[in-house]
Amino acid sequence: MPLTISILTGTNVSIYRQIVEQVCAAALAGRIQDDEALPSVRTLAEELVVNPNTVARAYSELAREGVIESRPGRGMFVSRRRQIYSGAERRRRMEQAVTSLVAEGFMLGYTPADIVELVEARTRERPSTTSSKPPNKGGAR
């Protein structure tokens, strides 16, 4: 399935951030293949009807975070080593996801034990393919 990005205006999330997050999500979910080039800045800008500088800035942030890498003469690709987030950011994102998961669970009337059980079941369904290194503290760069 090709990379599809949808942009919403008038939300709390900037367009630049929306692109970064959706490319990240697609890379993590394996929706972009290793040998598949990302659309060029120009192509994506015209497709999404957004300023090319915004796309360039998103790509440059993704490259800095190690999600994508430039292969000279061939364009931008998803990095082979999926070292997507560094220590603090990785932790922050995980906590954000857990917070919303737990809040949703409580709102729907689940007990803590129910929530843990569901999470365990889900993690067994999809065994981790990448080695789960503990986040290295402080090494933000």
Partner 1 sequence: MSSLPTTYDPVQDPPRDAVIETRGLTAYFGDKCVVDQLSLRVPRGSVFAFLGRNGSGKTTTIRMLLGLLPPTRGASAVLGCDSRALTPAVLARVGYMSESHSLFDWMTVRQSGEFASRFYPRWQQRIFDSIVGHFRLSPGSKAGRLSRGERAGLSLAITLAPQPELLILDDPALGLDPVARRSLLESMIYVTRGAERTIFFSSHLLDDVERVADHVAVLDRSVLRASGSIETIRAGVRQFVLRFDTPHAPPALPPIRGLLHARQLEHEVRLVIAAPDDDTQRVIRSLGASAVDEVPVSFADAMIGYLGDRGQQGFFLDDAVFEPAGGAT
Give the binding site for partner 1 (CB under 8 A).
7, 9-16, 42, 45-46, 49-54, 56-57, 59-61, 63-65, 70, 89, 140-141
- 13 or 97: CB nearest partner 1: 13
70 vs 123, beta carbon nearer partner 1: 70
Give 28 or 56: the residue with its C-beta nearer to partner 1. 56
Note every long-range contact of 99-104, with CB atoms under 8 Å and residues 24 or more positions apart, other chains counting: none
Q: How far is the CB of 20 from partner 1 (least distance, A)?
A: 10
Decide whether 92 or 112 has the Cβ nearer to partner 1.
92
Q: Which two tokens stand for residue 95?
A: 């906590």
Within a 13 Å sphere around the CA of 92, how many CA atoms are in the beta-carbon half?
Answer: 7
Amino acid at 140: A
| Least Cβ distance, residue 14 to partner 1 (angstroms) | 6
Q: Report the alpha-carbon distance of residue 11 to residue 14 in Å, rounded.
A: 7
Residue 83's contacts (CB-CB under 8 Å, 6 or more residues apart) are 66
Least separation in angstroms between CB 36 and partner 1? 20
Tell me the closest approach of the beta carbon of residue 108 to partner 1, in angstroms: 24
Q: Which two tokens stand for residue 87?
A: 């220590």
